[in-house]
Structure 1
Amino acid sequence: MNVQNKSILVVEDDAKIRKLIRIFLEKEGYEVFEAEDGEEGKRLFKECDPCFAILDLMLPKIQGEELCTWIREEEKSDIGIIMVTAKTSEFDRITGLKTGADDYVTKPFSPSELVTRVETVLRRTSDRCQKLSRNGLVLKAKKGEVSYKGNPIDLTGFEFRILHLLMKHPGQIISRQQILDNLYELHEKVVSERTIDVHIRHLRQKLQACTSMNFIETVRGMGYKFNG
């Protein structure tokens, strides 16, 4: 899976089940956000903007079905959603799917099977999530937005494109020439490698001011890479 499909919200009131789901998802490289009730699930959904959600049907404060409907109708989000519940009747499964869920898993379940179901749904819905997310830093490519834990970060067009390129290849060294080529696709005028260094410096300053983290590393004589 690509980075943009790795963030998952798990809303489950049973702490043991929630922990088990998180362990198996993180083992496969997913970034997991946890909530123990529907209200916290709403808050985390708005704050973290996940690309997938696993919702328990029976939740305190706000039921899973209501939360699923809220995601679909109020937030206008079509991310992948799996409902998890102890209810096994056909009526309950149909009701869960009618609220907008993509799949329905009954308890008790195998964590490995749940991860497989997540990956299956993601293969069908991968085009729904047009964002990159790493350690609270979120970039929405289509909207041209960058935020950290829900707080927007104001970037120039050059800075946005540089960050987008680096976040698409986390841990990989991107040369100045590669960055130039990427920028040149969107701008008629040619910029120098020195100009790239200036944009990187400004971008790094803005990210550190908002996150206190060094997301962009300079690799001397080679280029830059995104750490996160």
Structure 2
Amino acid sequence: MSQKSLIGKTVLVVEDDPKIRQLLNIYLTKEGYEVTEAVDGLEAKEKIEALDPCILILDLMLPKISGEELSRWVREDLKSMMPIIMLTAKVSEKDRIQGFKLGADDYVVKPFSPAELMVRIEAVLRRTASRCGKLSFTGFTIKPAKGEAWINGKQLELTHFEFKLLHTFMQHPNQVLSREQILMSIYEKNEKSVSDRTIDVHIKHLREKIKEKTPKDYIQTVRGMGYKFVAL
């Protein structure tokens, strides 16, 4: 599995068993996913609304709000097509059919193999790639379709080109990008006559706006080569 292909893949694990949460966190982090957790259905609702994860690993037997209710809320109230993998001790054919009717993309019975679950997650994400409308990495979250960006939960007020710059950098973490590569990525064909100086100005303004929210320097200048978005 390519680490690069997982950039932005935020997994919400909703499970009341701390041992299972810890096990999944270890495996998912090792595979390159960004992991957040919820211990009950109510906390899960809050995190889904706040974080908009790319996939939900959902135990069905949860305190406060059941996994079934949560799944129904995601599909019917939120109208979200967020991929859902149900993780449960319910083993009957009737339970599995009900899970799929509630909108599950996969159904995994406990006890399970963590390695097999990783493969299932990858397969579900491949099938549902178009559903994940955001990119999250190293504290940043952006929604390309909406043109919205945040750093550590604080919204960044970016111009159109600043947003496209950030999007380009987040798609190529720890890679040196030349000004020509950046230009090709963010400008339309009829705008290719812009100068390197214009790119530098946009990057300067983007850096300033990021530094208003955090002291870390995420965009570094590589002398004679271009710029690099550093995953700190």
Q: How far off its partner does 1:53 sit?
A: 0.7
Answer whether contact 1:3 1:168 (CA < 8 A) is retained: no
Other-structure match for 1:49: 52
Answer whether contact 2:168 2:186 (CA < 8 A) is retained: no
Superposed CA RMSD in Å reads: 1.7
Other-structure match for 1:165: 168
Q: How far off its partner does 1:149 sit?
A: 4.4
**How many pairs were matched up?**
228
For 2:164 and 2:94, the matched residues in 1 are separated by: 48
Unaligned runs of 5+ in 2: none
- 1:137 maps to amino acid: F
For the structure 1 residues 223 and 189, does the alpha-carbon distance in structure 2 shift closer, same or farther, using more than 3 Å as the test? closer
Answer whether contact 2:10 2:35 (CA < 8 A) is retained: yes
- 2:177 maps to amino acid: I
Give percent identity, aligned residues only: 59
For 1:149 and 1:64, the matched residues in 2 are separated by: 28
Answer whether contact 2:183 2:192 (CA < 8 A) is retained: no
Other-structure match for 2:92: 89
Q: SS of the residue aligned with 2:176?
A: coil
- 2:45 maps to amino acid: K
- 1:162 maps to amino acid: L
Q: How far off its partner does 1:11 sit?
A: 0.5
For 2:216 and 2:80, the matched residues in 1 are separated by: 29
Structure 2 residue corresponding to 1:69, chosen from 67, 72, 83: 72
Structure 2 residue corresponding to 1:206, chosen from 204, 209, 231: 209
Unaligned runs of 5+ in 1: none
Q: List per-residue Cα deviations over 1:147-185 (Å, max 9, x = no partner).
A: 234442211011011111111111111111111222332
Other-structure match for 1:109: 112
Answer whether contact 1:9 1:50 (CA < 8 A) is retained: yes
Structure 1 residue corresponding to 2:228, chosen from 201, 225, 228: 225
- 1:8 maps to amino acid: V
Q: List per-residue Cα deviations over 1:51-103 (Å, max 9, x = no partner).
A: 11100001111111111122222222212110011111112111111111101
Other-structure match for 1:132: 135
For the structure 1 residues 38 and 149, does the alpha-carbon distance in structure 2 shift closer, same or farther, using more than 3 Å as the test? farther
Verify: 1:12 aligned to 2:3, yes or no.
no
For the structure 1 residues 186 and 143, does the alpha-carbon distance in structure 2 shift closer, same or farther, using more than 3 Å as the test? farther
For 1:211 and 1:222, the matched residues in 2 are separated by: 26
For the structure 1 residues 65 and 214, does the alpha-carbon distance in structure 2 shift closer, same or farther, using more than 3 Å as the test? farther
For 1:174 and 1:130, the matched residues in 2 are separated by: 24
- 2:163 maps to amino acid: F
Answer whether contact 1:38 1:64 (CA < 8 A) is retained: yes
Q: How far off its partner does 1:106 sit?
A: 0.9
For 1:67 and 1:136, the matched residues in 2 are separated by: 27
Verify: 1:215 aligned to 2:199, yes or no.
no
Q: List per-residue Cα deviations over 1:91-124 (Å, max 9, x = no partner).
A: 2111111111101111111111111111111111
Instruction: Return 189-198 or 218-227, whichever deviates more.
Output: 189-198
Other-structure match for 1:23: 26
For 1:173 and 1:45, the matched residues in 2 are separated by: 34
Structure 1 residue corresponding to 2:183, chosen from 180, 183, 189: 180
Q: How far off its partner does 1:190 sit?
A: 3.0
- 1:30 maps to amino acid: Y
For the structure 1 residues 169 and 64, does the alpha-carbon distance in structure 2 shift closer, same or farther, using more than 3 Å as the test? same
